[in-house]
Structures are given as structure tokens and as C-alpha cells.
A and B are shown apart, each in its own frame.
Chain A
Amino acid sequence: MVFVKKKTTVPVSALYMFAVWCLISMTAHADACLECHSEWEDNDRAPSKLISTDVHFKAGLGCADCHGGDPTLEDMDDVRQHKNYLGVPEPEEIPLFCAGCHSNPAYMIKHNPSLSTDQFDKYKTSVHGKLLLGKGDTKAANCVSCHSVHDIASPRIPTSTVYAVNIPTTCAECHGDAGYMAEYKIPTDQYEKFAGSVHGIALLERNDLGAPACNDCHGNHGAIPPGVTSISAVCGLCHSLIADEFSRSPHKKAFDDLGYPECEGCHSNHLVQKPQHYWMGTSDSSICVNCHAFDDGTIALTSAETMHKSLVDLHDAYTRAESRTNDGELKGMMVTDLRFKLKEVKQFIIKTGTAIHSFNDSVVVKTAEPGLQLANKVYESAAAKIDEYYYRRYGLGIASLIITMLAVLLYFKIKSIEK
């Protein structure tokens, strides 16, 4: 390298450095916002700390794409004075703001073709939307309340605030806060009740994603409690056969006419528990007697008695058969075929539980009958296997007798030889 005069080398190296600088700043996010904010933000949940995981950021959107302004400006006063600068939007501005992209099919198809674009429309029909956009109530949930903002993740990712297992906690942020919700006069114990329900235990403790979270029944963007007449349709999305039976039963019309919430009336909405036998029947703790009486002109309570008996008989037969089978197994007998049959009886128990929703006692009895017979067969077989266990001792007794007899004879033989 020959050193030429200073006058010509400076421009060359300066050009070189500038080219490099251009390259670097063009390939990286030319985001002065992020650079500055990363330096002085020290909170773990500050935007600059979270943004690298954000789904929008990873798609190439920078700070200015949402907040407006010029990302190359470094001075905060310059930033604020920029004509396109939006800053931090107000709560009531947020839904429309997000909808700017998310309700635009032509735009969204370029980034995520399978993502729907009706969230804002649905939001407008929801309780949250009506409060925020209609009444200007900024306490109501907007997009950011549920989805977070600088660390938005797909609902399929476990770290997302709207991942199925996390949804109840996200909703409970407001709905579980009695002070926050005081003016709305709705209960704030839904989370506790849900967490104690079969659905809650399945979702929150066993991470069974097949179990419903809040949005599966209430909708997510169009969140509203299901109408009284559509409860069985919603529950029926999973519990299809039961919903069918219920729809054909006399209770469907009766409940809807009375404005009585279909499934919820007996099963509760949030605190859904395993149904108990005594719910169906005529005892004081049954659900039937809340509406029906023996002299109310219907066959309701007599039906209920029959159906209750069916349930209890089947369950008792199963328990008896299972306990006998366990006895047999403890005694070392092979009980696999009995376990198969017990599984079949379990299926009949499920079918009978479904048939209950027809509220027709002859249907219920007919459904339970084969299960009852099978359970009794299992009981007999298990008892037979246990008898085999005792037969062994009997057989041993006989063999011992023969051997002892022979031993005694042999002893006498020895004695006689030695005389």
C-alpha cells in the first residue's frame, strides 16, 4: 500500500467507512428508538426488554410502525414534534388502532394468511367493546389488556397471555378483582369456581388442552355470556350426545320458556362438578324437587325415582364387581378379562348418564340394563376365581392326606423289616 498524499487518502477511507456504516445500519433495524430506550430502561417488563420476543417485531415492524414518527431521530424533542408521531395511544383508541392492520384482509394476507380479520367487528358486539367504544368506559378490556403489547405471542405458544392454560388468569386480572369490578354488579368469583371445576382441574392442573377455557364458552373477541337458550348448544360442542338428548327432552322447551338456563340450571356454569346421583331423584337434596312436586300433574317425580334407582343400582353393581375383582387379583388370580368387562360396564355408566338428559325413565332403564347384567356377571366370575383360591387348600388337604397315609405305612414297613 503506497501512501499517497493526505488529500486523496482521507476521502477514500471516509467513503469506505461511510459505506460500511450504511450497510450496517441498513441491515440492522435502523431504530434509534430501540437503541435509546434499551439504554435507559431498567425494568424487566419495559418495552425494550420484551420486544425481541414480540411477534410483530419478529415480522419486521419497528417502534415507529405503531407509535409513528421517525425512527432515525435521536432527540426526544425532535421525535415528539414529528408530524406523524402518535406516542402512547389512549385505551379507547387502541381497538381501532390495531384494527388498522388486523381488519385489513389485503394487508394481513401478506403476513399471516390464515389469521382471521374479524376481531374488531366481533369486539364491537362484545360487552367490553360496547363499554369502551359505546360508553367510553376505559376500565373495559381492550386489545392490549388481554394480548399484552410489547411481547405479544401466538395463542399457541405457552408463554402467551392468551394460551389456553393462561386464559383464566388473564381474564381474572379484572374479573377476579372485586374492587375493580364493584360498579358492574357481576360476581368476581368465577376463577375460583372454575379452578375447582372438572374443566378447571383438567385445564389448569392436567394441562388438558381439550378442556374449555373462558373463551371457549364466552367467545374471545366477541366476549359475552351465552344466551339462556343457547347454553346447551355451547356445552353441546363437546357434550354433543347429551345436548341432543336434552334438546329432544321436555325440559328444553320448558326451560327456554321460563328463561331457566339450560345446562347451567343443574350443572352450574363455572363450578361444574362431577354429577352426583342424588341430584336426580325425589329426596330433599335433589334438584328435581326445586321445580316438581308429586301432585304437579306430571310424571316427573315418579320418573325421577325410577331414573335415580337405575343410576344407583348400576353404580352399586359396578362397585361390587370391581371390589370382588380386586380381591381376586390380590389372591393372585388373573383378572384381565374381568377388567375388560368392567371397562365395558363403565361405558354403560357413561351412556346411562347421557340417557338421563332425555328425562325419560324407560330410556334410562333400557340403557342401564345391559350394564347391570354385565356387572353381575363380572361379580359371579370374580367370586368363582376366589373359590378357586380356596379350592387349592382343599386339593392340598387331599394330597397331604394321601402322602401322610403313605408315610405312616412306610414307617410301619420299616419297623416290620427291622423286626
Chain B
Amino acid sequence: MGINAETNRSIWSRFYGWVDERLKIGTLIEYMSKKEVPSHSHSIWYFFGGMTLFFFIVQVVTGILLLLYYRPGAESAYESVKFIVSEVTFGWLIRSVHSWSANLMILAAFIHMFSVFFTHAYRKPREMTWVSGVLLLGLAMAFGFSGYLLPWNELSFFATRVGTGMAGAIPVVGNFLMKFMRGGENVTGATIGRFFGFHVAVLPGIFTVLIALHLFFIQRQGMSEPLEWAGKPPQQKKYMVFFPNFLLRELLIWLILLNLLAVLAVFFPDGIGPVHWPLGQKADPFAPPPPVIRPEWYFMFAFQALKMIPAHILFIEGELFGIFVISLAGAAWLIAPFFAARRREGEKSPAMVIFGWIILIFFIVMTVIGYFLE
């Protein structure tokens, strides 16, 4: 060793040595280098959390770039987005990637969430990871809802009006909530100001904290193992090292996703099929609403369900009942781990699986009906 070792060290190891001398991260690095990921037929689902994270990073980067040119306000928002899309070099690309990545992030989050649910990974000791994850999904949807209004075009104006109007239907707090969201009685420039503040400052702040916690929990606890492994001896359980094997695979997937985003931005800049976000016309609060107002696809299930509820159920107003049921289901979903508290390790929970399928099928069916049968 000695002198030879000194001169043979790469830049990286010299850098590491410098930092370790000051922060004593040796044990931490040691710990993390041992991190393993179970390798089995359902391992593919482990990547979806990272995919969601990737899309979020893309959102932050493209969001910051858009911030250079976007100007909130009823008289400048639409014009600035039009400017970005048509005059700024590669503006069309950044905006299109931002829109696509938003939708793909939420899609990846849903897949991640349901895969976690069906592999029972929410169970002890991962209750906090699950709760923070569901909250993160809610925040992501709030990101989507607030960002959708920002171009201030016909599409987003009416969708926001309907969406915030539904919030107003919630009993007791509804009116306050609606006025709080809208910044007044109606959707106006004041609403843009609020949504913008939420979208670029409040939500990112909370999101970052939750993501940090979520990732910390995962790193500390490691990936969950399949239920079937509960009684198996160590020789029958295959693992993959996180650094570098799993990480490199994750990066490969990220690379492919980046390419996918670029292809989508060039060939489908305004979305695909019914999930469309063309810039269109500027919002005109006094114009009649277009014949079809749709929320973003991840709200469609609730929108459609509320549309299909009869006017009255027993003595309760239909819409109110619908909101109540959906809220109840959401709350149950959030605290799902605590229902399975008494399950022993390796024991299946058929009731939970059925609950999960009901939620998933309801979501898919309502979304499909909302788009294709209306």
C-alpha cells in the first residue's frame, strides 16, 4: 500500500476521503453499500417509485425553465404561454415535456401505489412510508390541478370553475374552501395568483419534505420482501445489490423514459386522444362554456361518479353523498396499514386484496366511462 496507493487513487476516492475526514460518513456509506433489493418475478414493480421520482425531477427542471418566461395574471398568462410555445427557442419542447411528464408522473405514482398495495408492502414496519406516499399522491394531484389553470385558456378556465365549484359542495367547509381556492367568488386573475403560488412555492416545499422522508424511510428499511418469502431459508432468497446494480437498472429505465418524453413532445405535443391540452383560445369568463368540460384524467373517476349519482339517496343530496363516500374511501385507503395491524408476517389479507381490487376497478371503469361513453 503506502505511497503507491496514494498515487493510484482516483479523483472520486480522493474527494470521498476529504469529505469523510470532515463528516465521518464512513459508517453510513458502509451501511448503504450493503443495501439489497429482493430479486423475484415481481421485482419489476420496484422500479415504479423511482420512475415517479424521475418524472418529478423532470417537472422541477422544466418548471424552472418555464418560470423564466411565464407571467401569472389574467392579462399576461395566456400570452406568455403562447410566447413560450411559438417564439422561445425549444419553448414548445419544454412546455410539452412539462405537460407529458406531469401526466406520466401521476400515472407512475398510481401504478407504484397499487403495486405496493397488492404486494402488501404497506404493512408493518412500513406504515409511515405508505401514509407519506398517499399524501404525496394527493400533492401530485394538487400540482396537476393548480398547474392546469396556469395557461389561462378556455379549457383550463372551465375545468377549474367546475372543479372548485365541486369543492364548494362539501358541507360546512365547502364555501370557505371554494373561496380560499378561487381567491374570491369566481375564478379570476386572483385565482391564477393563488394557484401559481401553490404550484411553484407551497406544494414544492411540502412535496420535497415528504419525499425526503419517504426516501429516508425506504433507505432505512430496505425494500419489502414478497409475502411468500416469510418462511423461506436465506439460500432460497435471491437479492440484488442496490449500488450499483439496481441503481444502474433504474438509470437505464430513466434514460428510456427521457427518450419517451422527447418522442411524445415531438409527435404529440398537445396530448393524445381524449387527454388533450392544446393551448386553444384565451379564457373568457363571459363566454358560454364549451359543450364538453373535462377534468384531468386522474380526477375523471370522481367527476364521473358524481355525475352518475341520482339526485337524492334516502334523504341526503346525491352529490353530498358521493363526496362523502369518496372521502371515506380515500381516508380508509390512507390508513389501510392500520387495518392490517394484526396480520402476522407472511399472512395474506384477502379482505385487503378485495378492497384494493374494488378501488382499482372502480377507478378504471369510471375513467373509461367518463371518456368514452359520454
Contact = CB atoms under 8 A, between A and B. Distances in A.
Given A332-B92, A417-B248, A410 B266 contact: no
Nearest to B247: A414
B61 interface: no
Given A332-B269, A392-B266, A399-B262, A406 B255 contact: yes
Nearest to A385: B86
Q: Which of B245, B255, B267 has the most CB of A within 10 A?
A: B255
B255 A403 contact: yes
A133 to B, nearest CB: 58
Contacts of B262: 396, 399-400, 403
A398 to B, nearest CB: 11
Contacts of A332: 85-86, 92, 269
B142 interface: no
B167 interface: no
A96 interface: no
Contact of A407 (B86, B244, B252): B252
B259 A403 contact: yes
Contacts of A404: 259
B136 interface: no
B86 A334 contact: yes
Contacts of B320: none
Given A399-B262, A404-B259, A414 B86 contact: no
Interface in A307-334: 332-334
B263 interface: yes
A413 interface: yes
B263 A400 contact: yes
Contact of A393 (B82, B92, B266): B266
B301 to A, nearest CB: 31
A410 B267 CA distance: 26
Given A332-B86, A414-B248, A396 B266 contact: yes
Contact of B252 (A393, A400, A410, A418): A410
B43 to A, nearest CB: 14
Interface string A384-419: 000000001100100110011011001101100110
A334 B82 CA distance: 9
Nearest to A404: B259
B78 to A, nearest CB: 14
Given A334-B86, A403-B255, A407-B256, A414 B263 contact: no
A400 B248 contact: no
**How many residues of B sit at the interface, in one of the four size bands?**
20 to 34
B344 interface: no
Interface in B266-291: 266-267, 269
Nearest to B96: A332
B86 A417 contact: no
Contacts of B255: 403, 406-407, 410
Contacts of B267: 393
Contacts of B263: 396, 400
B259 A400 contact: yes
B251 interface: yes
A417 B248 CA distance: 10
A413 B248 contact: yes
Interface in B201-251: 244-245, 248-249, 251
Given A334-B86, A407-B256, A414 B249 contact: yes
B87 interface: yes
Contacts of A406: 255
Nearest to B93: A392
A269 to B, nearest CB: 43
A332 B255 CA distance: 28
A399 B245 CA distance: 26
Greatest chain A CB density within 10 A among B87, B92, B244, B266 is at B266
Contacts of A411: 252
A382 B248 CA distance: 46
A393 B263 CA distance: 9
Nearest to B244: A417
B258 interface: yes
Interface in A330-362: 332-334
Interface in B85-117: 85-87, 92-93
A403 B86 contact: no
A362 to B, nearest CB: 42
Contacts of B245: 414, 417-418
Contacts of A334: 82, 86-87
Contacts of B252: 407, 410-411, 414
Nearest to B266: A396
A407 B92 CA distance: 26
Contacts of B269: 332
A406 B252 CA distance: 9
A392 B97 CA distance: 14
Contacts of B256: 403, 407
Given A403-B262, A418-B245, 19 more contacts: A332-B85, A332-B92, A332-B269, A392-B92, A392-B93, A393-B267, A396-B263, A403-B255, A403-B256, A403-B258, A403-B259, A404-B259, A407-B256, A410-B251, A410-B252, A414-B245, A414-B249, A417-B245, A417-B248
Interface of B: 82, 85-87, 92-93, 244-245, 248-249, 251-252, 255-256, 258-259, 262-263, 266-267, 269
21 contacts: A332-B85, A332-B86, A332-B269, A334-B86, A392-B92, A396-B266, A399-B262, A400-B259, A400-B262, A403-B256, A403-B258, A404-B259, A410-B251, A410-B252, A410-B255, A411-B252, A414-B245, A414-B248, A414-B249, A414-B252, A417-B245
- 10 closest A-B pairs by CB: A334-B86, A396-B266, A403-B259, A407-B255, A410-B252, A414-B248, A334-B87, A392-B266, A400-B259, A396-B262
